[in-house]
Amino acid sequence: MNIAIQSDAVNASLIVTVLMALLAVRALRRFLDLPTRVPHLNLLLGWIWVPGAALLVFGLLLHIPDGQADKLYSAFVYAVLTATLLRTYYYRPARTLLLALAPLLLLSAAEQLLAMLSTGWAKSYSNLLESAHGFAIIWLITFIIIARNQKKRLEQERLLHEEEEKARRLVEAQNAELERLVAERTATLRQQTEELQQALTDLKNTQAQLIQSEKMASLGELTAGIAHEIQNPLNFVTNFADVSAELVQELEAEQRNPIRNPELEPLLLQDLRQNLEKINHHGHRAASIVRGMLEHSRAQSTERQPIDLNTLADEYLRLAYHGLRAKDKTFNASLLTELDPAIGPVEAVGQDLGRVLLNLFTNAFYAVQKRQLRQPVGFEPTVRVCTRRLPTGAVQICVHDNGDGIPEAVRQKVFQPFFTTKPTGEGTGLGLSLSYDIITNGHNGTLTFDTEEGQGTEFVVTLPGAA
């Protein structure tokens, strides 16, 4: 009867130990996340109850002494738990749990050693061993709490690291997307830049062609004026040459006359001499015109030189007028000049300033011609040029016409490149733009205008620093 009761007690104690081992393994699996960290060891831990069941069977068959099977199985469980903790030693809570089990392991080893040496010693130190068991349990609980806190802290750090990693990946993805967008935008901008560069090149070529066309148009007007200006002295030379030839014929006839008139020959010779003087005068006049135009058309540097402003204004006024008359023989206009003789020589680039005056005079004659076509009766086309020296020492050239004036809507665009009020084919819109650039940039002067619709327009060129 006693043996049966003792056997039931041993079996109950061993079964409780097996259940506690299963609970400990289950808790350890969850605490250390063994299925992820050590999956093979986790599978083996699932069979930890097998040795306990074997000891239970052997204890019933072999009548193992009281508590011996329980102690053996407890030692086995401690060994398995210790091996598991050593396997996951790299994990900080596992090291803490290993430290928590250390007193129990040492106490279990001491009990086994005392039991092996002497049963009496084990009984003598039973109180001490029970106290040590209490201390070991408290130690175990304390370090389990510490390990739990460590796990929470590590879990927070892991979550924080995952959030940082997620944020880093998101930033990298955004950076990659931004780099892609920047690359696409850069390619687009590069293509647009190339297109704009090509458009700018085409525009410069077109501008150069238009400027050349404007120069050729000015040259054509200048050439027409020169031709008309030279025609007058050449006509005089031709006419007086013809008259002189007739006088020579009369003189020869008189010399062949048997009865010669002594008063006729001196008169014929005097007329012939006067004709020759006039031929010489008009020949020099034609030569001076050609020489002056050659000087103006010759390629010059941009250095300023003293020039006679009054002579330059008078010559280009007549050249612009005759240039327009070469196109329209029916056109006539009054030319008024008020040239201040006290101006003296002016430091300027003669060729450029002549081009400005030619543009201003040509526009003035064009304006009065258009008004004459619109108002043929009661209107007298008039273009006036005056020069004067201001009290400040600057010199002004004023070109006034009594044309229709400039409409208020387009006054702000007068000096813009390529703007013109002339019909297509009659102007490029560069005359006033080039003139403004020559005066303002080339001579540090000003080019302004005053206009009134239906009354006329006056352009004023102001040149500082006159000599």
Query: What integer is the mean pLDDT of 218-222?
Result: 58
| Token pair listed for 360 | 């201003």
Question: Above 80 in pLDDT, residue 380?
Answer: yes
| Token pair listed for 317 | 């006024």
In DSSP notation, 186-213 reads: HHHHHHHHHHHHHHHHHHHHHHHHHHHH
The pLDDT confidence band at residue 59, using thresholds 50, 70 and 90, is: low
Q: What domains sit in the chain, N to C, each tagged with a CATH number?
A: 2-124 (no CATH), 303-467 (3.30.565.10)
pLDDT score at 467: 44
Question: Above 90 in pLDDT, residue 237?
Answer: no
Question: Above 90 in pLDDT, residue 459?
Answer: yes
Q: Among 200-214, 270-284, 379-393, 449-463, which stretch is predicted with the lowest mean pLDDT? A: 200-214
The pLDDT confidence band at residue 112, using thresholds 50, 70 and 90, is: low
Query: Could you tell me if 24 and 81 are in contact, meaning their C-beta atoms sit under 8 angstroms apart?
Result: yes
Query: What integer is the mean pLDDT of 48-70?
Result: 70
Query: Could you tell me if 35 and 29 are in contact, meaning their C-beta atoms sit under 8 angstroms apart?
Result: yes
Question: 6-10, 55-59, 222-226 — which one is most confidently predicted on average?
Answer: 55-59
Question: β-strand 334-339 against 382-389: which pairing, if any?
Answer: parallel
Please, what sign has the CA dihedral across residues 361, 362, 367, 369?
positive
The pLDDT confidence band at residue 212, using thresholds 50, 70 and 90, is: low
Query: Could you tell me if 90 and 82 are in contact, meaning their C-beta atoms sit under 8 angstroms apart?
Result: no
Question: Above 60 in pLDDT, residue 219?
Answer: no
| Token pair listed for 21 | 């081992």
As a whole number, the mean pLDDT across the chain is 79
Residues 6+ apart with CB under 8 A from 87: 38, 41
CA distance 300 to 352: 9
Burial class (CB in 10 A: 0-12, 13-18, 19+), 318: middle
Q: For residue range 322-356, list pLDDT tens digits in order.
A: 877 777 778 888 899 999 888 878 888 878 888 88
CA distance 199 to 193: 10
Q: For residue range 12-35, list pLDDT tens digits in order.
A: 777 887 888 888 888 888 888 888
Give the count of beta carbons closer than 10 Å to the beta carbon of residue 21.
22
Query: Could you tell me if 77 and 21 are in contact, meaning their C-beta atoms sit under 8 angstroms apart?
Result: yes
Closest CA to 430 of 166, 179, 220, 215: 215
The model's pTM is: 0.45
Question: Above 80 in pLDDT, residue 92?
Answer: yes
The pLDDT confidence band at residue 419, using thresholds 50, 70 and 90, is: low
pLDDT score at 223: 64
The pLDDT confidence band at residue 122, using thresholds 50, 70 and 90, is: low
The pLDDT confidence band at residue 401, using thresholds 50, 70 and 90, is: very high
Q: Among 76-80, 174-178, 306-310, which stretch is predicted with the lowest mean pLDDT? A: 76-80
CA distance 20 to 78: 12
